[in-house]
Structure 1
């Protein structure tokens, strides 16, 4: 067997490390201006007509997830967000999605049950300084944003962040 045909673990490890570093750098760049701090005043009317207020979730970790009906990456994440909503408080913010009917249809067609705050104007996205969707914010027990992620995120990655946000002190 020649040395060219041997599997080179060091090369693969180097490539994987480089990709990991690049992913971290890109996420940092995309979220460098993201809102951090208290979201205790975050509130609004949900798609189903009920009121949402972060004050009701003090003491619990919360995922605030920005998405859009036309976003293919958001479409990839929808199952993960649905799964997470069965174990944690999730409020999703449908930004720039062209109104109630398209969002309602999207939720129904995809059998999604997590709460949705409609943000057609992008006001909430602007408040959170969201540059693009999807974007996820992890809120701790004191209603403070402790993590912001832009772009595709794995379910495991969000769950780990929520678990840490739910830990006491």
Structure 2
């Protein structure tokens, strides 16, 4: 049993690193845009105030349905910006969020241009930026609210 758990841990870690291979660690492309509510956002400027959780998700992503409630909770007391990847037009994404009763700042990326520029290959992908705007943490797939809170707490 221990061997199985060890192998599962190694495979999961290797898979995560492989999926994250194209995410730039220091020279990130700009993440500037208009949120669904019409406000303008510049993630680099926001990061100057402290850690920022950047969440790449999609309406069609089954795992995102598990992670999004945690991100919505974290958005109440942390700097969070989300990117809705290839999920339809602005109205479709807004209606989807409303139907789930999720509220987090979101940029719509209907053609996937922002996601590709950031090297995102899987959903959900969560990147935590430090105050210098550099990647401090990356995780993809399912994760917990507590795990994300700990990562945010240890990011400066």
| TM-score, with length taken from structure 1 | 0.85
Instruction: Identify which range, 117-126 or 30-39, moves more after superposition.
Output: 30-39
Query: Which residue number corresponds to residue 6 of structure 1?
Result: none
Q: Which residue of 1 aligns with 2:38?
A: 49
Query: Within the alignment, does 1:23 sit opposite 2:3 as a pair?
Result: no
Instruction: State the match for 1:7 in structure 2.
Output: none
Runs of 4 or more consecutive aligned structure 1 residues displaced over 4 Å after TM superposition: none
Match status 1:159 vs 2:149 = yes
Structure 1 residue runs of 5 or longer lacking an equivalent are: 1-11
Rg comparison, structure with higher value: 1
Written as runs of structure 1 = structure 2, the 5 A alignment for 1:10-159 is 12-39=1-28, 41-54=30-43, 55-159=45-149
| Residues 74/87 of structure 1: CA separation in 2 closer, same or farther (3 Å cut) | same
Aligned residues: CA RMSD: 1.6
- Count of paired positions: 155
- 1:40: Cα distance to partner? 8.2
Q: CA deviation at 1:151?
A: 1.9
- Calculate the TM-score normalised by the size of structure 2: 0.91
